[in-house]
Structure 1
Amino acid sequence: MSTSETNLSAFSQAVIAAGELWVLSADDEFVVVDSIEFEATDVMPLFSKQANAQALCIEDWASYQPVAVKLEEFFEEWLPSLDEDKVLVAIDLDENLVGEEIEAFTLAKQLAADDA
């Protein structure tokens, strides 16, 4: 299993255990960043733990707060929107904004497989 697959699996298992994942939000707007891997591509950071999300609420993102998204809501509302807008997701970005960038449906498939 590659490091990328290991990170995705660990993220998926943590999110399933918690029943939610975390995003950063301020006034009904969510953090979206430029991809470091793909030109002209937006990426939405997702976090497996509130503390991971909170750690990035500094400097330019000081006005943002971690917001929990239930898995059911992620599948029903977020996933179709992310796919339609061609937005990738980044799982558990670190303080340097480095993390796995993947298609939202790749994450969805992993979540479904781990939850089976």
Structure 2
Amino acid sequence: MSIEKTLKSFLNQVKETQIIWALQDKSSEDWVVLDSINFEETDVMPLWSTQALAKSHCVEEWANYIPAAITLADWMEFWIEDLLEDGVIIGINWQEDDDCVELELPEFTQALAAVETL
């Protein structure tokens, strides 16, 4: 699936729920952040548009993680600044193959802002 199609699908689902999903460690409450597939020396935070998609990745090395909901309002208020400072990019509807869509944080945030209901 192309970047545009993946992003459109992601945004359509998020628009309805106003929630994005990440994986959080059950005990430490750390979030899954991993090496980018597309950019050297760059961390990527995988996010999913549904709880079910996120949960499907809670296996093997991520077996101790659970899907955690992040509202768009919380994302805009609490997450962006820290991730920007750390140079983290976003992987949308992350998959385990090399066909992962990764977006720079400003581009991802702008797309989310377009579907956020205030």
Same fold? TM cut 0.5? yes
State the Cα distance separating 1:98 from its structure 2 match. Answer: 4.2
1:6-85 aligned within 5 A: 6-26=5-25, 27-85=28-86
| Maintained 8 Å contact 1:9/1:110 | no
- The separation in 1 between residues aligned to 2:62 and 2:71, in whole angstroms, is 23
- The separation in 1 between residues aligned to 2:63 and 2:99, in whole angstroms, is 18
State the Cα distance separating 1:12 from its structure 2 match. Answer: 1.5
TM-score, with structure 2 as normaliser: 0.89
- SS of residue in 2 equivalent to 1:30: coil
- The separation in 1 between residues aligned to 2:105 and 2:13, in whole angstroms, is 17
- Name stretches of at least 5 consecutive residues in structure 1 with no aligned partner: none
- SS of residue in 1 equivalent to 2:7: helix
State the Cα distance separating 1:83 from its structure 2 match. Answer: 1.1
Deviations, residues 57-82 of structure 1 (Å, cap 9, x unaligned): 00111000000001100011111111
* Sequence identity percentage: 38
Partner of 2:104: 103
Letter in 1 for 2:10: F
State the Cα distance separating 1:6 from its structure 2 match. Answer: 1.9
- The separation in 2 between residues aligned to 1:76 and 1:65, in whole angstroms, is 23
Letter in 2 for 1:22: W
Q: 1:35 to 1:4 in 2, by over 3 A?
A: same
| Maintained 8 Å contact 2:18/2:72 | yes
- Name stretches of at least 5 consecutive residues in structure 2 with no aligned partner: none
